Amino acid sequence: MLTIIGLDEAGFGPLLGPLCTGASSLSLDFDPADGPPDLWARLDSVVGKSPRTSDIPVADSKKLKSSSKLPLRNLLAGLVPFVEVATETEIKTDEDLLNAVGVCDFGPFAGEAVGLDELDGLDHGQRSLRRAKLDRALTSSGIVVEAVQATATHPRRLNELFDELGNKSSANTTLLFALLRDVLGTEKHHPNPRVVVDRQGGLMRYHALLTTKFHGATINTIAESPEISRYCVERHEKSLHIGFETKADSTHLTVALASMAAKTVRELLMGRLNTFFGQKRPDLKPTAGYVQDGRRWLADIGDLPERLGIPRRHLVRDR
């Protein structure tokens, strides 16, 4: 059995809202003679990259957000069945989903749980059918969903990390590797797992970074190129292979699923932020939190956060 772990993030650039990281871990029967496993091909009876042709879409999260009245429909259609299978739970609300992937801190914005039917337009029966189809496809393909997890780091903690580490990139890698440690710490994975990280930015050499993340380990460089950088990490008679790849969410199902988990968590938490402030100011236009519109939103709310007892540094990122 081979375990493949995918990592990705969402919300690196915005001014408002959390930076979210996502991870997924799948194990499968694997013969090296068959070449790199294609999980989309193994699950093509129900899983695909397009929501128009597949019951359960799994793809780069940016391509799945819908322009319809239900913008999270496609993200939830793909993510929820995998989370339900991984956790053996039935998810009915946004709060259920956040908790199931490991996010318990919703930030300083209290709010009522939102039913999934209000977000994806599906009823209980439709959602149950998708989960059952995925379960059958996984079983027949010899694939086990070990974990689908996410973290949400809100501006208060992000600003602390920026102060501690000096830049956004270091904060991002710190959060990604913290999530990886959590996934590896569950011990659900098989020996010598493979880790794939969606490469952000132009960095090509990661040996020095890995040395700081895996103290006392031997780091062997396998390849370093503009498209992919691969390493073998060995410590305490254990090893893992880790690769940083461009467009990994298009070529690795586990990375796409991690991307979807991170993006969905951020969208759900931004929804709670907008609902919270919209209840105080009904005329306030919602924001996705990106820099230009975030500045518009901050100008519109004026001193409302301070009057509500929310320090500006708990709401707005310094970088």
Residue 192 confidence (pLDDT): 87
Radius of gyration of the chain (CA): 20
Q: What is the predicted pLDDT for the residue at 185?
A: 86
Residue type, 105: D
Q: Across all residues in the chain, what is the average pLDDT?
A: 93
**Which residues neighbour 319 within 8 Å (Cβ) at sequence distance 6 or greater?**
162, 167, 168
Q: Residue 34: what pLDDT? A: 73
How far apart are the C-alpha atoms of 103 and 123, rounded to whole Å? 24
Q: Where are the domains of the chain?
A: 2-199+246-271
- 207-249 pLDDT per residue, tens: 999 999 999 999 999 999 989 999 999 988 889 999 999 999 9
The answer to whether the beta carbons of residues 276 and 269 sit under 8 Å apart is no
Contact between 260 and 23 under an 8 Å Cβ cutoff? The reply is no
Residue 18 confidence (pLDDT): 97
DSSP code string of 70-138: -TTHHHHHHHHHHHHHHHT----BHHHHHHHTT-----S------BTHHHH---HHHHHHHHHHHHHHH
Cβ–Cβ < 8 Å for 146, 26: yes
> For the segment 24-53, what is each residue's pLDDT rounded down to a tens digit?
999 998 877 777 789 999 999 999 999 999
Q: What is the pLDDT of residue 308?
A: 92
First to last CA, the chain: 42
Nearest of 319, 2, 4 to residue 172 by alpha carbon: 319
Beta-bridge partner residues of 316: 16
User: Considering the domain 2-199+246-271 in this protein, what is its CATH number?
Assistant: 3.30.420
Spatial contact of 247 and 228, defined as CB atoms under 8 Å apart: no
How far is it, in rounded angstroms, from Cα 253 to Cα 46? Answer: 13
- What's the pLDDT score for residue 125? 92
Q: Could you say which residues of the chain have pLDDT below 50? A: none
Q: How many Å separate Cα 66 from the centre of its chain?
A: 17
> What stretch of H or E contains 306?
helix 304-307
**Do residues 83 and 101 make contact, with C-beta atoms less than 8 angstroms apart?**
yes
Token digits for 75?
């993200």
pLDDT of 203 reads 83
What is 125-194 written as a DSSP string? HHHHHHHHHHHHHHHHHTEEEEEEEEEEE-HHHHHHHHHHHSSHHHHHHHHHHHHHHHHHHT--SPSS-E
Residue 1 is predicted with a pLDDT of 85
**Which residues 6+ apart lie within 8 Å of 48 measured at CB?**
40, 54, 56, 57, 58
Nearest alpha carbon to residue 156 among 1, 308, 310:
310
pLDDT reported for residue 35: 72
